[in-house]
Structures are given as C-alpha cells and as structure tokens.
Structure 1
C-alpha cells in the first residue's frame, strides 16, 4: 500500500424541485476544481452531524432553509484523489424554504437527472448520477 492518504469527509445534497430536477452549482474561480459542476454541500465543522452540516451549508451556499428531518440519505461516493481520499455521503432533499441563489457568486442550475452527465463534474460526483436517475 502507498503512503496513507488522509480521509476527507464532506457531505452533499441532491436538492430536488417539484419538477424532479436536481440543483447543481459551479465551483467558482480560485477554488480547487474551479469550473466543474457539483452537488451543494461541504465540510463538517467540529461537533456537527452530517445532516446538521448540510442544513448549514445549504443556508450558507444557497440561502435556503431546510430541516434535518427533510434530508434522506441516498448513497455515497468514495474516491481517491492524488493527495487525499474523499468520502461523500449524498442526501436527497425535496423540502426546503426559499429560492436557491449562488450566495458565493457561483452559478447554479436545475438539471434533469438524465442530463447531469452533460455538465463536467469532479470525479467523485459522477458515480452518484445513476442513483439519481433511478430515484427520479
């Protein structure tokens, strides 16, 4: 086995609208993987559960409110990047309040699950697409 890679835990959300579309956001310039499209979410803060982190991240990134009870785990990604290993649970959220907007200046888009592959995504996000196609 090569030198051990740090495991990085992040949480992501497939936000689903009434029309069965999924929200994706574009990573802004200056961040790693800039320009790629991803499911909203992020890193956990000390003492947070996955669900609490997602509620906070959705507020910070998209200015929407949701509750832990509105989040349902769907699947997860486990992906080895060059310098770390990413573990990313994906939750589904159909119930939220507010109109999503890119608070951090990021572009956002509602996309049909079958069209998600038309948007370049980080390698960790791509294996999640079939689960959303099957779900919706």
Structure 2
C-alpha cells in the first residue's frame, strides 16, 4: 500500500539578524522531540499561503505580514510522503510563543545548536546560509581596478561572488581567482567559479556555476560546498535539481544592456518556472539591487547582478 501524500506549509521565520526559528515536535506527535520549521498540513480548500497564516497563528500566536514563496521539498517518511512548501517569513505581528507544547529556539544556519533535526530540513538549513545577492565579476579589462570595487562591495555586505571571466588568460584567471577567494574569505563571503570545476578545486573557491551544457553532460554533482547551474527553461531546472545542485540562476528575466531586443522571461514566466522547485533560484538579467524584494515575491531566493553589484 502506498503511503499517503501530505502537503504541508512550512515557514523559515527569519529575524533581521538572520537567525531563524525552529520548534521541537511535541510528545503526542510522530517524531516527538525532533526539531523542525513551524507549519502544518494544508487543509482542503486552502492555498499554501492560507495554511501558513493559519498554522503560525495556531502554533505560535503570530500573524504574518510578509511571506514569500521559496523552496518546495518532497520527503518520503516510513508512514507518509510529505510535500513541504516553504516560505520565507520576514515580518509578523506578535512575539512567537509555544501554543501546542513545543519548544522554540532561534538558530543560526552556520551553527545549529539543537538536535535531532527532521531529515527533510537539512537542505533547507543549508539554503538559509546562501546569501540572497550574487555579484558576477566583470574584471577582464582591468583586474586590479576591479579588486578595489570588490573590496568596497564586500565592505558593504556582499557575501556571494561569481567569477565569470571567459576572456581572461588561464594563468591570469587562476591568480585572479586565488586573490578574489582570499579577499572574500577574509570577509566571510563565498566565491563561486563559473564552469571550471578544476579551477574551483585548485584555488580553494567555495563552489562552481555549471553551464547549461555541463548540466546536460554531468552524471554526478561536483564535490564542492556550493554547486549552481545556469538555467533558462523548465527542463534545465529539473535537471539541476536531479543533479543535486544547491541553486540555479534563471535568466533572462528582464531586458539587458548586453543583449538588447533579446527575448526575456518576464516576472510571470519566472514565477511559473520557479514554482514547486526543490532548489533555491536566483533571478538574473536586467536587474538592480532594488529588484530583490520583487524577485522574492515571485518565488526567487535572490538576485544575481553584473553591473549593479559593483556600482
């Protein structure tokens, strides 16, 4: 007999300092004592957002004022298959307090101090440590000048840098990647290398950004902390999830200066493509830092910028 399929709305309730709320399951529920994200079953006739609002009022006594769709994970337990529709909750009324016998704890994604966690939640906790703004380098004409822009961006809080220098000579690119990685690590930020897995491993970078052609060819996930993929359609997003990528860059969302007149997704198509995905999705193409909230309202984890990250 096939186990039942249960749809759940779950909340990553995030404070301004970046900490998020976990709750222990009460003694009268399966997996008692395990820690999980607050939320609960979506009832018949409810949307995921409606269920989220209801569950957080019932469980924690808070009323959501800002929640954006995020990641959807499916997990098979012995007794049921659970589809977890996660939202990022960043504003609410009231103070969370246990109303159903659970214990609450604010946690940092890089230093979890409670255990055990429900198995389905580990990828979500990793995703919470992924910054929401990615800067993509544009240094080939002036690498030394770019490093000063990098230092300024890091000082202003940029935590995720993708090195994409397709025209830089190999030896120069390796030296540049090492230098960028040293500077990002000094500011507790991450460096991602575009397409070159060997270069990422050799320079101590944190991850690799796979091209769509690499995505089609690889059979196993590269052994790096972060693995992302460049995607443009539903099939590529599905392949990225199948390979075990942590995130995808979905583009182009809006018109860009580098490709004037080229077809774009627009926000409606971006939303359609990003729904029900098990990995974090960045919006890319024609965006500025001011577009972050709009992107998240349409299901994005964050945004990736070229020019806008360094101005």
Aligned equivalent of 2:73: 77
Cross-structure match for 1:132: 128
8 A Cα contact 2:12 2:87, kept in partner: yes
CA distance in 1, matches of 2:128, 2:60: 20
Richer in strand (by share): 1
**1:135/1:119 Cα in 2 relative to 1: closer, same or farther (>3 Å)?**
farther
User: Which residue number in structure 2 is paired with residue 86 of structure 1?
Assistant: 82
Give distance in 1, aligned partners of 2:7 and 2:95: 27
Q: In angstroms, what is the RMSD of aligned CA positions?
A: 1.6
Aligned to 1:95: 91
Q: Paired residue for 2:110, among 95, 98, 114?
A: 114
> Which residue does the alignment assign to 1:38?
36
Is the 1:75–1:131 contact (alpha carbons within 8 Å) kept by the matching residues of 2?
A: no
CA distance in 2, matches of 1:107, 1:135: 28
Cα deviation code 1:61-118 (max 9, x no counterpart) = 0000114xx1112212111112321110111001101110001121101111112375
1:25 is aligned to 23
**Residue pair 1:74, 1:91 contacting (<8 A) in 2 also:** yes
Q: Distance in 2 between matches of 1:120 and 1:37?
A: 6
Question: CA, structure 1 residues 123+7, in 2 after alignment: closer, same or farther (shift >3 Å)?
Answer: same
Residues matched between the structures, number: 132
Task: Determine the C-alpha separation between the residues in 1 that align with 2:121 and 2:129.
Answer: 14
TM-score of the aligned structures, taking structure 1 as reference length: 0.89
Task: Write out the 4+ residue segments of structure 1 that deviate beyond 3 Å after TM superposition.
Answer: none
Deviation at 1:119, TM superposition (A): 2.8
TM-score, normalisation: structure 2: 0.41
The 10-residue stretch of structure 1 (121-130 or 48-57) with the greater mean CA deviation from structure 2: 121-130
Alignment of 1:50-69 (within 5 A): 50-67=48-65
What's the offset of the Cα at 1:47? 1.0
50-59 vs 73-82, greater mean Cα deviation: 73-82
2:17, 2:58 → 1: CA distance? 24
More helix by share: 2
Residues 1:104 and 2:100 are matched in the alignment: yes
Larger radius of gyration: 2
Structure 2 CA distance for partners of 1:89 and 1:117, relative to 1, 3 Å: farther
